[in-house]
Amino acid sequence: MFAVAPFVWEVPFMTDRLSWLQTHTPLRSLSLQALEAIAAALRTESIAANRRIVLEDTPVTHLIILRSGELEAYHTTRDRPATVTTLLAGTVLHWLELVMEQRAPQTIITLTDCQLWTLSREVFATLVTQFPELRQQVSQQLQNALSDLVHEQERQAVLRPYLVPRVKQGIVGSSRYAVRLRQGIKDAASDRQPVLIFGEPGLEKDNIAALIHYGSGDRRQPLIRFNCGTLSAHGAELFGKLRKPGLLDWLAEGTLILNNVHEWPTHLYPQLRRLVAEQTYEPVAETPVPPPPLSRASDPDCRKEKLRLPRPSAPSN
Q: What is the pLDDT of residue 296?
A: 43
Per DSSP, 267 falls in state: G
Cβ 8 vs Cβ 43: under 8 Å: no
From 143, 135, 212, select the one nearest 171 (Cα to Cα): 212
Pairwise CA distance, residues 184 & 178, whole Å: 10
Assigned superfamily of 163-310: P-loop containing nucleotide triphosphate hydrolases (3.40.50.300)
Q: What is the pLDDT of residue 44?
A: 94
Amino acid at 92: V
Q: What is the pLDDT of residue 76?
A: 79
Q: What are phi and psi of 255, to 5 degrees?
A: -120, 135
Pairwise CA distance, residues 35 & 22, whole Å: 8
Tell me if 11-158 shares its fold with 163-310: no
Give the DSSP letter string of 222-261.
-EEEEEGGG--SS-HHHH-BTTB--HHHHHTTSEEEEE-G
In the CATH scheme, what architecture does the domain 11-158 have? Answer: Sandwich (2.60)
Domain residue limits, the chain: 11-158, 163-310
| Mean pLDDT for back-to-back runs of 10 residues, the chain (317 residues) | 44 77 88 93 94 95 94 78 79 89 92 95 94 76 60 81 81 87 89 83 83 85 91 90 87 88 90 88 73 45 47 49
